[in-house]
């Protein structure tokens, strides 16, 4: 289990114990984090799982793939330097304590 | 105010989302969500894709059990509706229970079309709609070596891909002269026929199956095609399309027309009954055609719309359903996406591509842009959706003058619009 924290657009924080091996979108969805949709079930085809990742994890996460880069161009809320698709973030010890912010809109 | 009870029949994609969205919209009454499958509501798309490899059913769930409790959603599984008593505003279950509703949402989905040929009850003749089907199929695939898909639509092709990946020999039998014929343009069909053939899938196009025959143990052994060809197989997957599962609506006297007929607000001809998702037919505003759409997007967006209309204040304007349709499929290691409803297209344009793995095909009707099909080109797909959701119609000429560059066109349109 890995601790992950979601902060919604109004600043409300929810911390979950997420299952290792899942991705961050799946963890959020299962627990009913409202700001994440995950319409394409993680196939990198919908960009409705957009999050803003806080440091220090932003730097230590594996780089975005070309596909993720492309989808991030199409997010409903503005793309920022720390934009990621949560379906592409694997849960495991290396992201323990990660904090991500949810956009206004997916 | 007296609290209302919303009853949702069918706990698939659309039914589940209705319950969740009702709470998001601030609905405070009772929500009863029930369906005939066992367990918590889950997503179907991975069943023909990633579930084959990981078999992790927990990953398919929309939400944990906890979520339903927290949101006061009464969830009943293994519960099938047998009848709707509109006069008493009650739903009767097959086990005899009755539930009273103020508003009823029908999210019944589809069932697989049955083939009118001998042999479909043999062992190892399977279909794929539910999690249970997927488990049976995974299990059967472990002991099989030659699989035949009856039907070359999205699910047939996705399953073919997955089974090839497991090392089975795979053939596809398709009635039409090309795969996915009812859903995509010729260039996309051709692209996928080539990809699947390159991975070793064998095609029998413009053929149908006339019978299935079994061995002494009652397991399928071979198929006979309309031209007399005999194909050996120890696994057959019937993916010959689906039909809406709407007998209870029909018996209750609701209007049906290739699905439960609903108006722009997703209401049936009974003002207290709504129908959404795969089981509902409605007039698509942009093309003025009666359509029934089988996709996650349609199920999700209709559920959100219905939740708004039910939770909305009395006297408030109901919301019309007008979202741009989109769909995806994972096959042969590629990502196929469709934006818009391209069915009525009378003109197609294949865009120049900077890579053989990418393909974008634009669809026009009466010289107007109605949709785009893309392979491995999510950004063209998203841009097409943006253009389609804009208020202005976009013509073939507009595309010509922007050199068929979707992003440039989208920028121009948003600047002037
Ligand atoms: C294998 C597979 C792969 C797919 N892949 C994709 C994809 O990649 N992209 C995409 O966009 N779409 C895909 N789809 C389609 C998508 O899953 C459906 O469009 C979506 O699930 C529709 O939601 P729904 O709620 O209308 O119907 P469903 O999700 O089918 O839910 C309907 C539920 O109602 C139940 N039910 C029916 N009658 C009764 C009754 N009388 N009483 C109680 N319960 C009842 C059914 O058993 C079912 O559980 C796929 C579907 C399948 C089967
Ligand atoms: S869930 Fe669709 S892109 Fe992440």
CATH number of the domain within which B283 lies: 3.50.50.60
Picking from B311, B343, B365, the residue at the C-terminal end of a domain is B311
Task: Provide the residue count of chain A.
Answer: 106
| Contact (CB<8Å) B64/A30 | yes
* H-state helical runs in A10-83: 24-30, 57-60, 66-72
Closest listed ligand to the CA of A23: 2
Mutation target for A interface from B131, B331, B378, B407: give the one with most A CBs within 10 A. B378
Q: Is residue B328 part of a domain?
A: no
Closest atom of ligand 1 to B10 CA is 34
Separation CA B48–CA A39 (nearest Å): 16
Q: Is residue B319 part of a domain?
A: no
- Whether ligand 2 lies within 6 angstroms of the CB of A38 is answered as yes
Kindly give the parts of chain B with pLDDT less than 70. Answer: 1-2, 414-417
Which positions in chain A touch B335 (Cβ < 8 Å)? 43-45
Which positions in chain A touch B383 (Cβ < 8 Å)? 74
Read out DSSP for B361-408? EEEEETTEEEEEEEES-HHHHHHHHHHHHSSS--BHHHHHHTTT-HHH
- Whether ligand 2 lies within 6 angstroms of the CB of A51 is answered as no
> Would you state the pLDDT for residue B354?
85
Q: Name all domains of chain A by residue range, CATH numbers in brackets.
A: 2-101 (3.10.20.30)
pLDDT score of A73 more than 90? no
Distances (CA, A) of B205 to B113, B174, B180, B202, B211: 19, 5, 11, 10, 17
Residue B321 CB burial class (10 angstroms; 0-12, 13-18, ≥19): buried
pLDDT in tens, A15-67: 999 999 999 999 999 888 989 999 998 989 899 999 999 999 999 999 999 88
ipTM for the assembly:
0.87
Given a contact cutoff of 8 angstroms between Cβ atoms, the answer to whether B176 and B182 are in contact is yes
Q: Strand locations in A10-103, DSSP E?
A: 13-18, 50-53, 83-85, 98-101
Separation CA B316–CA B313 (nearest Å): 5
Option in B24, B64, B300 nearest A31 (CB): B64
Treating both helix axes as pointing N-terminal to C-terminal, what angle do B378-389 and B406-416 enclose, rounded to 10 degrees?
Answer: 30
Tell whether B83 and B225 lie within a shared domain. no
Q: If you search the block for the tokens 């409605």, which residue do you land on? A: B282
Q: Strand locations in B109-206, DSSP E?
A: 110-112, 125-126, 146-150, 169-174, 202-205
Q: Is residue B169 part of a domain?
A: yes
Q: How many CB atoms lie within 10 A of CB A10?
A: 8
Separation CA B205–CA B209 (nearest Å): 11
Q: Tokens representing A46?
A: 């919908």
Measure A32 CA to nearest chain B CA, in Å.
Answer: 6
Q: Which domain holds residue B362?
A: 333-416
Rg over CA atoms, chain B: 23
3-state secondary structure of B170: strand
CATH number of the domain within which B357 lies: 3.30.390.30
> Would you state the pLDDT for residue B128?
97
Tell whether B236 and B377 lie within a shared domain. no
Tell whether B148 and B230 lie within a shared domain. yes
Distance of CA B332 to the CA centre of its chain: 19
Q: How many CB atoms lie within 10 A of CB B403?
A: 10
Q: Tokens representing A87?
A: 């379906």
> Would you state the pLDDT for residue A32?
87
Which element (helix H / strand E) includes B224? strand B220-225
Q: Is residue B52 part of a domain?
A: yes
Given a contact cutoff of 8 angstroms between Cβ atoms, the answer to whether B201 and B167 are in contact is no
Picking from B240, B255, B274, the residue at the C-terminal end of a domain is B240
Residues having CB within 6 Å of any atom of ligand 1: B 9-15, 35-37, 44-45, 47-48, 80-81, 107-109, 128-129, 155, 245, 248, 277-279, 294-297, 299, 327-329
Measure B309 CA to nearest chain A CA, in Å.
Answer: 20
Q: Is residue B321 part of a domain?
A: no
- Model confidence, pTM: 0.95
pLDDT in tens, B303-344: 999 999 999 877 788 999 999 999 999 999 999 999 999 999
Q: Is residue B322 part of a domain?
A: no
Picking from B280, B311, B342, the residue at the C-terminal end of a domain is B311
Tell whether B235 and B251 lie within a shared domain. no
> Would you state the pLDDT for residue B417?
46
Tell whether B298 and B196 lie within a shared domain. no
Given a contact cutoff of 8 angstroms between Cβ atoms, the answer to whether B216 and B205 are in contact is no
Tell whether B338 and B369 lie within a shared domain. yes
User: How many separate domains does chain B show?
Assistant: 3
Going by the DSSP 8-state scheme, the letter that residue B292 receives in this structure is: -
Measure B97 CA to nearest chain A CA, in Å.
Answer: 30
Residues in CB range of B72: below 8 A, 6 or more apart: B23, B30, B31
Q: Is residue B323 part of a domain?
A: no
A69 touches chain B (CB under 8 A): no
Q: Is residue B327 part of a domain?
A: no
Closest to B388 (Cα-Cα) out of B294, B296, B288, B287: B287
Which positions in chain A touch B24 (Cβ < 8 Å)? 34
Q: Residue B44's closest chain A neighbor by CA?
A: A41
Tell whether B366 and B305 lie within a shared domain. no
> Would you state the pLDDT for residue B1?
56
Given a contact cutoff of 8 angstroms between Cβ atoms, the answer to whether B136 and B307 are in contact is no
Option in B66, B337, B386 nearest A45 (CB): B337
């Amino acid at each position: 289990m890995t601790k992950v924290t979601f902060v919604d657009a109004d600043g409300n924080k929810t911390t979950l114990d997420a299952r290792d091996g899942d991705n961050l979108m799946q963890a959020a969805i299962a627990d009913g984090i409202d700001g994440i949709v995950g319409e394409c079930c993680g196939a990198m085809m919908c960009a409705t799982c957009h999050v803003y990742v806080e440091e220090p994890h932003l730097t230590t996460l594996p780089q975005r793939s070309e596909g993720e880069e492309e989808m991030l161009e199409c997010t409903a809320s503005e793309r920022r330097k720390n934009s990621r698709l949560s379906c592409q973030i694997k849960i495991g010890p290396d992201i323990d304590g990660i904090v991500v912010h949810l956009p206004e809109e997916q | 105010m007296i609290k209302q009870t919303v009853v949702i029949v069918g706990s698939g994609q659309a039914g589940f989302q209705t319950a969740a969205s009702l709470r998001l919209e601030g609905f405070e009454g009772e929500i009863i969500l029930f369906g005939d499958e066992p367990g918590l509501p889950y997503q179907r798309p991975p069943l023909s894709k990633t579930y084959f490899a990981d078999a992790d059913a927990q990953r398919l769930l929309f939400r944990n059990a906890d979520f339903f409790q927290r949101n006061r959603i009464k969830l009943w599984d293994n519960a099938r509706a047998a009848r709707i008593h509109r006069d008493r505003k009650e739903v009767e279950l097959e086990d005899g229970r009755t539930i009273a509703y103020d508003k009823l949402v029908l999210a019944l989905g589809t069932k697989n079309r049955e083939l009118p040929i001998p042999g479909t009850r043999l062992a190892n003749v399977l279909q794929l709609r539910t999690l249970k089907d997927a488990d049976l199929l995974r299990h059967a695939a472990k002991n099989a070596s030659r699989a035949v898909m009856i039907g070359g639509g999205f699910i047939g092709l996705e399953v073919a891909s997955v089974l090839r990946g497991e090392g089975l020999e795979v053939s596809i039998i398709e009635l039409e002269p090309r795969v996915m014929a009812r859903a995509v343009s010729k260039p996309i069909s051709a692209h996928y026929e080539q990809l699947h053939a390159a991975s070793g899938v064998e095609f029998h196009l413009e053929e149908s199956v006339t019978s299935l025959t079994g061995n002494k143990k009652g397991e399928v052994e071979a198929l006979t095609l309309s031209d007399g060809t005999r194909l050996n197989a120890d696994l057959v997957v019937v993916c010959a399309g689906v039909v809406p599962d709407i007998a209870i609506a029909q018996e209750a006297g609701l209007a049906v027309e290739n699905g439960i007929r609903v108006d722009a607000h997703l209401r049936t001809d009974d003002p207290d009954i709504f129908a959404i998702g795969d089981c509902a037919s409605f007039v698509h505003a942009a093309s003025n055609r009666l359509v029934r759409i089988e996709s996650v997007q349609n199920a999700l967006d209709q559920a959100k719309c219905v939740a708004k209309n039910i939770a909305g204040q009395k006297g408030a304007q109901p919301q019309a359903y007008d979202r741009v349709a989109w769909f995806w499929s994972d096959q042969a290691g590629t990502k196929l996406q469709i934006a818009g409803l391209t069915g009525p297209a009378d003109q197609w344009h294949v865009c120049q591509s900077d890579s053989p793995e990418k393909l974008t095909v634009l669809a026009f009707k009466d010289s107007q842009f109605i949709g785009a099909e893309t392979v491995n080109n999510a950004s063209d797909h998203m841009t097409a959706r943006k253009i389609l959701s804009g208020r202005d119609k976009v013509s073939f000429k507009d595309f010509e003058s922007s050199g068929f560059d979707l992003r440039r066109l989208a920028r121009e349109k948003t600047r002037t619009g």
